[in-house]
Amino acid sequence: MVQVKVNDGVLEGALVNNEYGGNYYSFKGIPYAEPPVGNLRFKAPQPAKPWEGIREAKNFGPVCYQFDMIMRRLIPGSEDCLYLNVYSPDIKPSKPLPVMVWIHGGGFMSGSGNDDLYGPEFLVRHGVILVTFNYRLEVLGFLSLDTEEVPGNAGMKDQVAALRWVKSNISNFGGDPENITIFGESAGGASVSYHLISPMSKGLFKRAIAQSGTTLCPWSNVSEPLERAFVFAKRLGYQSDDPKGLYEFFKSVPVESLVQVNIPITSIESTKKTGHITFSIVDEKQFGNNERFFYGDSNDVLRNGINDGVEVIVGYTEDEGVISLGLSNLNEFKDNVNTFLEFLIPKPILTNCLLNEQIELGKKLRKHYFGNNLLSTTGLKEKMIKYYSMDMFAYGAIQWAKICKSSSKNTVYLYRFGYKSERNILGVVLGGENVFRDRPVVSHADDLPYLFPMTAIFSLLGQKLDQASETFKLVDNLTQLWTNFAKYGNPTPDGSLGVTWSPYTIEKQDYLNISNELSTGTAPDREEVEFWEDIYRKYQPKFVYDG
C-alpha cells in the first residue's frame, strides 16, 4: 500500500510486482471530472469534487456504456465513467520521470483505459510513468446539436480534462509535468492529432504519437451533426422539428438507446459502411464564452501549423485495411463495387464531386484496384485490404506528415509498422489470416500487443510471452523507440537499436520501417501514394501537399 496526495485529496494505491522486471506503483479509478450524469449529460466535463479522508485507488472506475465494435457485444458500463489510472515505477525519483498518456481507440464508440488491454508492464520498465483513462463515447461523448447546451466534442473535452489533471497532479507520482507525451491508436491517434491543433490542448503536452489515425482520415470527423441528431431522435420517437426540444429529449433517453447507433444521411453512407462513424469530432460553433475544442476546417487549421514546439511521431501499419474484413460483408462489397461507380470514391471527394466526375473517378479507382471485369469473391480480400488501407489510414498519415512539416518547424517522425509474430492477433480475429500467400497480415491495431500486454486476449488464447523469445525482443524494440521519444524527443538517440531514425523532411520523406529487422527508407508506399495524390490533386486539392 502507498499513499499519494493530489489536489482533490489523498489516494491509496498499491505496489505491484512487474512480471517483466521490477515493480511499479498502481493507482486506479481516480476521478478527473464530475460524473457527467443528469443535467451534465452531453455537457463539457466539470471539475471533480474533492474528497475527505483517504480514497482507495486499487480498482478501476466504470467504463463508458458502449458497444464493442470488434467483438460485436454490449459492454454495460456507466455514464459515470470519467476516471484515470496512473502507473509509476518510482513515486519519489531523484529526477522527475517522463510521462506517457495513452488515449485508447475504438472508433469513438468503444474502449477504455483498463489494463485488460492497456496494462503498464511493458512501458514502465523503461522508466516512464503511464497514464490511461476513459472518456465518453458515441452519442454520450459526441452528440452535437449545434447549440450552447450541446455544441459537441464532449468526449474530446473529457480528454482535455484528463490532460489538465495530469499536468496539475503528475508531479505527486514522480512525473515531470513539463515532459508529457500523449499517444493513441486509431480513434486515439486521430484524437492525438486533433489535440495538436486544438486551442484547448495547447501547452498540456510536449510530444505526441499518432498511430493509425490523423485529422486527415475521412472517418475522424463528421458533417451535418444536427441533421444526424434529428434523424436519430425521430427513430427514437421524437416527432417535432423543433431543435430546442432535442436537448430535453436526449436527456430523457435511456443510456441503452445511445449505443450501436448508425445514422447514415446519404445513400452512399448507407452502402459504404466501412469507415463510416456516425458520432465523432465536429466543427463547434461559438456560444458566449464556451471553450471550443475544435472549430474550422481541419485541413485549413493544419496548414496553419500545429501547436508550437511539439515533437511528433505519426505512422500506420502495413495492412491497415484488414479491419474492413471485420466491418464489411464481402458479397455486399462485391455487389456495390460492381453496381455503383461512386462506391470507391473517398468521402472527402464525393461530397464535392459532380456526377460526370464521379463516373470518371469511380472507373479509375475500380480499374486500379479491381481491374475492368466484374468482381467475384475470389482474391477479393487482398484487393479490399489494399484499397481500404490507403483510403482509411495510410494516405491520411503520410499527407498529415507532409502538410504538418510544410507548415511548421516541429520535428516529425514517420513510420510504417510491419512486425510479424504470434502477437499479430487482430488480423486473425478480423478474418485476415492467410489472405496473402507469401506473408502474414499486419492489421490495423496489430501494433498494440507490442506496447501493452493485452492480457485479456492472450490469457484467453493461453499464450504467455517468454522474455527470452524473439517476440519479446520486438516488444523491447518498440517500447524503447516510444519511450526514448518520450524521454528525449528522439526515438534512436544513441544508435543502440541498430538504426538512426531521421526526422521526416519534404525533400527526402524519411521513415522507419518497423519490421522484425528495423530499417530506414524514404517515401513509403510511393506508387500508391502518388496515385492517390493525383486523385486528390484533381478533385479535392486541400487533401494533398503540393508545395
- Distance from the Cα of residue 6 to its chain's centroid: 28
Q: What CA–CA distance (Å, rounded) separates 328 from 33?
A: 37
What phi, psi does 406 have (nearest 5°)?
-70, -25
- Here the cell at position 134 is 476513459
N residues, the chain = 547
Catalytic residue (one of 138, 185, 320, 528): 320
The residues with which 85 forms a beta bridge, in sequence order, are 132
Sign of torsion, CA 11 16 20 22?
positive
Instruction: Give burial (CB, 10 Å; 0-12/13-18/19+) of 116.
Output: middle
Single out the residue of 381, 518, 509 nearest to residue 437, CA to CA.
381
Question: Cα separations (Å) of 406 from 154, 303, 395, 515?
Answer: 31, 8, 16, 28
**How far apart are alpha carbons 144 and 152 in whole angstroms?**
4
Instruction: Tell me how far apart the alpha carbons of residues 359 and 110 are, in angstroms, rounded to a whole number.
Output: 36
From the list 311, 443, 444, 528, the catalytic residue is: 444
Give catalytic status of residue 186 as yes or no: yes
Catalytic choice (26, 88, 112, 186)? 186
Determine whether 62 is exposed, middle or buried from the number of CB atoms within 10 Å of its CB (0-12, 13-18, 19+): middle
- The residues that are catalytic are 186, 320, 444
